[in-house]
Amino acid sequence: MLTRDIALEDAILDLLDNCVDGVQRSLTKKQRQGETPYKGFKAEITFSASRFVIADNCGGIPWSEHDRAFRMGNPSANRAAMIDGALLVGTYGIGMKRAIFKMGRSAVISTRTNDDAYDVTIPTGWTDEEDDWELAVTDSANRLKHSGTSITIEDLTATTSSRFRSSDFLDALLEKIETHYSVILTKGFSVTVNNRVAKPKRIAVKFAELSAKSTSTQAAIRPYIFRSGNEDDVEVFVAVGLREPIPDAETTLDEQEGATFATDFAGWTVICNDRVVLYCNRDELTGWGTANIPRYHTQFIAISGFVEFKGNAAKLPTTTTKRGLEFSSVLYQQVLNRMRDGTRMFIDYTNWWKQNEAHSKQQVQPLPSKTMNELKEMADSATIKFNPTRTGLAGEIYKPNLPKPISEAVDLRVAFYRPKRVVMRLAEELLRDFEDISEKNIPRSLGEHLFDEAHSKIGKKVGNK
């Protein structure tokens, strides 16, 4: 059993995946396409130093599936990957068993569907048996009130027990659920961990509203969007844009010194069948520092993008742990080219405006942010003018016409260093509102004051130019 291959948090997410797969199985195709298909479905996780429980109301494991679910390995992986268009990830059939043995040595799985209710018990010592690998299936003693599954794991391993005792673990697990399940939680699914509710992390980019005066071809801040057809049973949607105004020099420096956490939300998020497999990634996996894309730098903290793969789980670019990205996947490599193109557009925008951040801020700040789902709806509404691709992965592309500064209007940054005591003394002397200015902003305010004063004096002699 490959329990060493997986982190404890990931093992728990594997169990959550089974809950979500249960929801997918119980929905009709039309329901799945709705805005909040997971509404009303929930998973409750509770753990202590001696026990772990996950209980859901997600439809249960049908009796017809029990052999597959409890067998070691999954003999019909591809069939399970795409049941009537359901967006499953349980392709490999090792998730639940691996998760159980990662945490403990005995477990009871109680499940109830509309038709059946049964328990499967994994007794202590079962893994030590060399001959008897049968698992006892009994009529459900622990009658669930609704269709769903409850997994109780006991005889926890020493490592698991120790981690469950640590107060940090709850935060780490919630953080992971909130990122990896951000799409699913946004679509209505509810997850609680020791009674704390997981809240989805919102990923959105700025989008200048479309109107008769501002069509999608006119210069404005909008994301780059690519969407494929149903290529080989998988649909791809890529969008990258600005999630906030580009940073000024001070913010970039602050960020480098770790003064803010803005950079945590920059980069690419990759979603496979509603599960986030990469969250705000800023390394080679998402094209940073490869081909024509520079390595990530705090100057790019405003750039954010998401990629969604949707369809046959066997063809998604995920690793066997389902939590990682299969970088060498041909499909992903083709999509990566589109991601690089989009990233490059906003790197260029950042470079164009980096000496004129204030103007850029005026363009970006007031705009509404759109989530991936909102962008997809807009793309479907035909208000955005897409062009068909001629090379690479087939599909359609929307390239925004990003505003460019007029070269004469570019502001230049004037920067230099002087001793701090001199700067503070001058500022106190010259700046009227010295007391109200934060220490961080004093150098800038003083510099602007001195510059404007000098300019107004010279302006009197040579005219204000």
Partner 1 sequence: MKHPAYHLRTNKAVDRLSWISQVRDSLINERKAAFYSLGGPFLEDLKLAHVAFPKLRLVSLESNTQTYKRQKFHNFTSQLALINSTIDNYLIHHYEPSDQDFFWLDFTDLSLPRLNSFRSLVTKVPHCSLIRLTLRAEPDSTLKHVEKHLSDEQSSNLAAEINEKFEKDYGAVLSHDTKKTPLCSRIDFARTVQMMVRRVSSEALANANTEFMHIGTSRYDDGSQMLSVTGMVIDRDGSQAVMNHLKTKGILIERDVWSDPVEIKVPVLSILERHWLDKHLPQRDRESLGKMLLRKLKYQIDEGEKHTEDALRQYAKYYREYPNFAKVNF
Binding site for partner 1 (CB under 8 A): 291-292, 330, 333-334, 337, 341, 344-345, 348, 387, 390-392, 399, 401-402
Least distance (Å) from partner 1 to the CB of residue 339? 12
Closest separation in Å from C-beta 332 to partner 1: 8
Question: Could you give the C-alpha distances from 44 to 56, 139, 188, 345, in angstroms and in order?
Answer: 6, 23, 14, 43
Measured from the CB atom, the residue of 408 and 439 that comes closer to partner 1 is 408
* β-strands 224-228, 234-242 pairing: antiparallel
Shortest Å, Cβ 252 to partner 1: 22
Residues 305 and 352: their CA atoms lie apart, in Å, by 20
Q: Which of 407, 415, 402 is nearest to 443 (CA)?
A: 415
Helix (H, G, I), strand (E, B) or coil at 73: coil
CA distance 439 to 441: 5
Residue 399 or 444 having the CB closest to partner 1 = 399
Contact call for residues 109 and 117 (beta carbons, < 8 A): no
Tokens of 219: 């210069």
Q: Which is nearer to partner 1, 260 or 401 (CB)?
A: 401
The residue with tokens 């004037």 is 414
Which C-beta is closer to partner 1: that of 173 or that of 316?
A: 316
| CA-wise closest residue to 149 among 65, 35, 273 | 65
CB 221 → partner 1: shortest distance, Å? 14
The amino acid present at 387, given as its one-letter code, is N
Residue (104 or 241) nearer to partner 1, CB:
241
Please list the alpha-helical segments (H only) found in 279-320: none
CB of 344 to partner 1, least distance (A): 5
Residue closer to partner 1 (CB basis): 305 or 443: 305
Shortest approach of partner 1 to residue 367 CB, angstroms?
20
Angle value at C-alpha 198, between 193 and 203, nearest 5 degrees: 155
Q: Do 153 and 103 meet the contact criterion of CB atoms below 8 Å apart?
A: yes
The CB-of-392 to partner 1 minimum distance in angstroms stands at 6
243 and 204 Cβ atoms separated by less than 8 Å: yes
Nearer to partner 1, 173 or 221 (CB): 221
